[in-house]
Amino acid sequence: MDKNLFIGREYEIHQLEKYRDSKESEFIIVYGRRRVGKTFLIKEFFDDKYDFHVTGLYKKPKKMQLKNFYLALQEYGSSIRKVPEDWLEAFAELKKLLKSIQDKRKKIVFIDELPWMDTRQSDFLAAFEAFWNGWGAQQDDLMLIACGSATTWITNKILSDKGGLFNRAARRLYLMPFTLQETERYLISRGIRWNRYDIVECYMTMGGIPYYLKLLDNGLSYLANIDTLFFKRNGPLWDEFDHLYETLFGTSKGYLKIIEALSTKKSGLTRKEIIRETHLEDNGLLTEMLKNLKDSRFVSAYNTFGYDEKNVVYQLADYFTLFYLRFLKGKQNPDEHFWTHFLDNPAKSNWAGQTFEQVCKDHITQVKKAIGISALLTDISSWRGSSESGKAQIDLIIDRRDRTTNICEIKFSVGEYTIDNNYEENLKKKMQVFREATKSRKALQLVMITTYGIRQNAHSGIVHSQVRMDDLFDL
């Protein structure tokens, strides 16, 4: 394994090394969003060398899944001569193959896209449980790695399973998208040296998803790359949206209703508001869909300041989805240079402002470090409400254990941000409404999070702390 190939996966590599070198069998679940690099991590770590490796087939029936498993068994030296009748027989053959290996080392079994094998009425999961619980877990030389993009299936069928696999998947690795700092490192490794403003805008279009970033051409500007990937006819990411949701959630109609409703609301929606906007039933299925979207990190859930968990606000958190719904959905023949021509359009500024807020929330560790409160316990929330002084909305609140609350204002601009008299009065009113409505007795401190900082003038003194774009690239 060449560690120089990896960026941002130091923790996962350390864990895999530990599991590989342990003196007992290990069952490891590697999961995360589609295109986040799960398969790449495993293949590079093990140099694509296994004692058995198979990849599930998307939307194929049990018969074809079994034949695919059979062919993989043959490839790795099994003496099997016919396609197994069922999954119990298939895993019995895998057990026989592994027992035939005489080397005194850990045997590596990699099953990629495991959820796709669990077709309707196939009894796959029962056979898988029997293989691991009845034999694999009793060995001291087996490393069973299962990958999958269907986070919902993995969470519900394995990690939260109350049956045979309950608490058996002791090792879980959830791969997160790259941070801004990791994205910058990755781009540099591919010969792309953009300024940080362009890197942040790129991040806001596709997030820190390695597969998407890999598609960027180092010979093109940021704007030209977005045109090529998204807006050029048959571009690489033109139809990614449909594949993304179908592979993650299967029957995705209800999920898409929620996602589309959230995409239109900068401040997010409560459960009741989601029901009103989507006309979905207020039942267990909605609860499950919201949980699955949250588990898959497509939606973030923030508590409303001063309220319990029943007042959760849901916000669309997936950058690619927000970009697609805002600029691509429903457009059959777009301008192939749309993003370049759209440079100064107010709609782009509106999108950038909303999406930069999500970037800041996803880099809250860096925000806390920049204002000097890394060591403090904090609660992150949002708030909207009213008092006799009027209405107000705050998209990011950092409530600290030192009797201080940071009210964060987030602005994305091409230069230093100027606070004029009207905006200063607006900020004062916002903090006053918050104080009156919440009856908070904590000290309120205004934090401005901007791209290039605040221009110093007669009105900038209202700001207690600043966080600049560069701060978000910190470790």
Q: Given a cut of 60, is residue 382 above it in pLDDT? A: yes
pLDDT of residue 304: 78
CB burial of 58-83 (b: ≥16 within 10 Å; e: otherwise) equals eeeebeebbebbbebbeebebebeeb
Q: Which helix (H) or strand (E) holds 387?
A: strand 378-387
pLDDT of residue 307: 64
pLDDT tier, 207 (very low <50, low <70, confident <90, very high otherwise):
very high
pLDDT of residue 167: 52
Average pLDDT over residues 55-67: 96
Q: Given a cut of 80, is residue 210 above it in pLDDT? A: yes
- Dump pLDDT digits (tens) for 313-333: 899 999 999 999 999 887 766
Average pLDDT over residues 409-432: 96
Q: What is the dihedral of CA 430, 435, 441, 446, to 10 degrees?
A: 0
pTM as predicted: 0.91
DSSP bridge pairs for 171 = 28
Alpha helices in 46-173 (DSSP H): 62-75, 87-99, 124-134, 151-154
CA-CA distance, 448 to 431, in Å (whole number)? 13
- Dump pLDDT digits (tens) for 242-257: 888 887 776 678 899 9
CATH (residue range 365-473): 3.40.1350.10
- Share of residues in the chain with pLDDT > 70 (%): 95
CA-CA distance, 367 to 258, in Å (whole number)? 29
pLDDT tier, 429 (very low <50, low <70, confident <90, very high otherwise):
very high
CA-CA distance, 181 to 199, in Å (whole number)? 10
Average pLDDT over residues 297-309: 79
* Lowest mean per-residue pLDDT among 162-166, 210-214, 247-251, 459-463: 162-166
> Which letter does DSSP use for residue 454 in this model?
B
pLDDT of residue 333: 66
CA-CA distance, 43 to 6, in Å (whole number)? 12
How many other β-carbons are positioned within 10 Å of the β-carbon of residue 188?
12
Average pLDDT over residues 31-37: 90
CA-CA distance, 76 to 111, in Å (whole number)? 13
CB burial of 387-398 (b: ≥16 within 10 Å; e: otherwise) equals eeeeebebbbbb
Q: Which fold has domain 241-327?
A: Arc Repressor Mutant, subunit A (1.10.10)
Could you tell me the end-to-end alpha-carbon distance of the chain, in angstroms, rounded to an integer? 24
Architecture of domain 3-175: 3-Layer(aba) Sandwich (3.40)
pLDDT of residue 3: 55
Tokens of 373: 């409160």
How many degrees, rounded to 5, is the angle at CA 307 between CA 305 and CA 310? 125
Average pLDDT over residues 446-453: 97
Average pLDDT over residues 384-394: 91
* Lowest mean per-residue pLDDT among 229-243, 346-360, 439-453: 229-243
Average pLDDT over residues 92-119: 94
Tokens of 444: 């309120």
CA-CA distance, 71 to 463, in Å (whole number)? 65
Q: What are phi and psi of 183, to 5 degrees?
A: -60, -45
Q: Which amino acid is at 121?
A: Q
**Residue spans per domain, the chain:** 3-175, 180-238+328-357, 241-327, 365-473
- Dump pLDDT digits (tens) for 143-196: 999 998 877 788 878 877 555 565 555 688 999 999 999 999 999 999 999 999
Angstrom distances, CA of residue 75 to CA of 26, 43, 296, 408: 24, 17, 34, 57
Q: Given a cut of 60, is residue 358 above it in pLDDT? A: yes
Q: Which amino acid is at 354?
A: Q
CA-CA distance, 136 to 107, in Å (whole number)? 11
Residue 362 makes CB contacts below 8 A (sequence gap 6+) with 179, 317
CA atoms within 13 A on the CB side of 400: 18
Asked if residue 64 lies in contact with residue 72, where contact means CB atoms within 8 angstroms, the answer is: no
pLDDT of residue 170: 67
Average pLDDT of the chain? 91
